[in-house]
Amino acid sequence: MKKISLEMGSGGKLMRDFIDDYIVKPFNNPFLNELTDSALLPNNIGFTTDSYVVDPIFFPGGDIGSLSVNGTVNDLIVSGVKPEFLSLSLIIEEGLEINSVKKILNSIKKSSEEANVLIATGDTKVVRQGQGDKIFINTAGVGSIIAKPCPKKIKPGDKIITTGTLGEHSLAIMLAREEFGIEAETKSDCAPLNFLIPLWKKGPYWMRDITRGGLATVLTELSEKLPFSLIIKEEKIPLSSPVQAASELLGIDPLYLACEGRALLVVAKEKADTVLNKIRKNQKGKKAEIIGFVDDSIGKPGELLLSTISGGLRLLEPLTSELLPRIC
């Protein structure tokens, strides 16, 4: 490989290898375990960053502004950090309508209020036409560490919960691009996951937001580190009817579709129902489901298996090639 390819930005295996080889290994330090997660710094500070390059910048259910707040806020929350402050850095292409910028900034304002964070510092750069694409936004987030995820405590029998249906963000982007010649009424699930913060008291071992690479990629990243396998049940996976229909029509696997307002949790068996009920009490968690469990008898250690509706078992791999560039 001599040149950067789109696949390296997919959130899939190629990207993880690239980041591992070129960033995590050379920059090796105790805070940088994984470049995709929040860093847990001394003095109880959590720190994360994300650049957003979503195309189109406006889509049903959100825009690049709400995405840049929610994406970063959610990265902190799933790491056990209460988000408090965001930085906001804009790279704007010359010629973008000022009204679009206003609309995006207004959306950032609303989203940051909803997510209970303050924009504390920022930066603006303008590049010539053709050297960017409308607007790219970076937000970094800092907050207070309120819980330490402990994936090492995960044991057979623990339950896997999704806080909602899968793939609406990806589908909304696809439809907004009008590349697929299908029509459906769907909105991005883009939302802040603040309602999960109190759940850290219930002792989940692990949380992750379901972003690039979808559920399958996020869960294989976990399963690979475990001495057990993870099994998810196809029949339990909540899908909205537009996502179900579009997936069948286009032959896309919703397990690889990105969300921007959903998370996965691993919780001890005896706490799973309590946690599920708490999640369902929130409007954004109404469709939450226990979708699987940690296993030490069916699969091999490190595997992620899908128990299909037809009764079979399918090994799930992390995403390797880019389904849809610039989803976030």
Q: Which of residues 66-125 bind its own copies (CB under 8 A)?
A: 84-85, 87-99, 101-102, 105-106, 108-109, 112, 118-125
Instruction: Give the SS3 label for residue 283.
Output: helix
HSE (CB half, 13 Å, CA atoms) of 328? 31
Name the one residue in this structure whose structure tokens are 């889509």: 59
Stretch that binds its own copies, among 30-38, 283-291, 295-303, 308-316 (CB under 8 A): 30-38
In whole angstroms, what is the distance from residue 139 CA to residue 131 CA? 21
SS3 270: helix
Nearer to its own copies, 72 or 188 (CB): 72
Among the residue ranges 136-144, 218-226, 240-248, 293-301, the one whose residues contact its own copies (CB under 8 A): 136-144
- Does the protein bind its own copies through residue 179 (CB under 8 A)? no
- Amino acid type, 251: G
Q: Which is nearer to its own copies, 72 or 165 (CB)?
A: 72
User: CA–CA separation, 155 vs 229, rounded Å?
Assistant: 10
Q: Which distant-in-sequence residues (6+ apart) come within 8 Å of 290 by Cβ?
A: 159, 160, 161, 236, 272, 273, 276
Considering only 127, 249, 313, 315, the residue that binds its own copies (CB under 8 A) is 127
Residue whose CB is less far from its own copies, 137 or 246 = 137
Distance CA 161, CA 232 (A): 10
- Pair 215, 313: CB distance under 8 Å: no
| Residue with smaller CB distance to its own copies, 122 or 198 | 122
Interface of this chain with its own copies, residues 265 to 304, rule: CB under 8 A: none
Nearer to its own copies, 145 or 184 (CB): 145
- Cα–Cα distance, 328 to 9 (Å, whole number): 10
Least Å from the CB of residue 161 to its own copies: 26
Q: Which of 13, 15, 67, 292 binds its own copies (CB under 8 A)?
A: 15
Q: Which residue has the tokens 């050379």?
A: 26
| Nearest distance from C-beta of residue 325 to its own copies, angstroms | 7
C-alpha–C-alpha distance, residues 9 and 38, integer Å: 18
Nearer to its own copies, 93 or 234 (CB): 93
- Within residues 31-50, the interface with its own copies by CB under 8 A covers 31-32, 35-39, 41, 43, 45, 47-50
Query: Which 200-259 positions form the footprint of its own copies (CB under 8 A)?
Result: none
**Measured between alpha carbons, how far is 168 from 164 in angstroms, rounded to an integer?**
10
90: left (phi over 0), alpha (psi -120 to 50) or beta: beta
Candidate residues 70, 107, 111, 138; the one interacting with its own copies per rule CB under 8 A? 138
Q: Are 8 and 18 in contact (CB under 8 A)?
A: yes
Nearest Cα to Cα of residue 170 among 60, 21, 96, 69:
60
The verdict on 29 binding its own copies (CB under 8 A) reads yes
Nearer to its own copies (CB atom), residue 41 or residue 313? 41
- Size of site (CB under 8 A) for its own copies: 79
**In the complex, least distance from residue 70 CB atom to its own copies, rounded to whole angstroms:** 15
Under the criterion CB under 8 A, does residue 184 sit at the interface with its own copies?
no
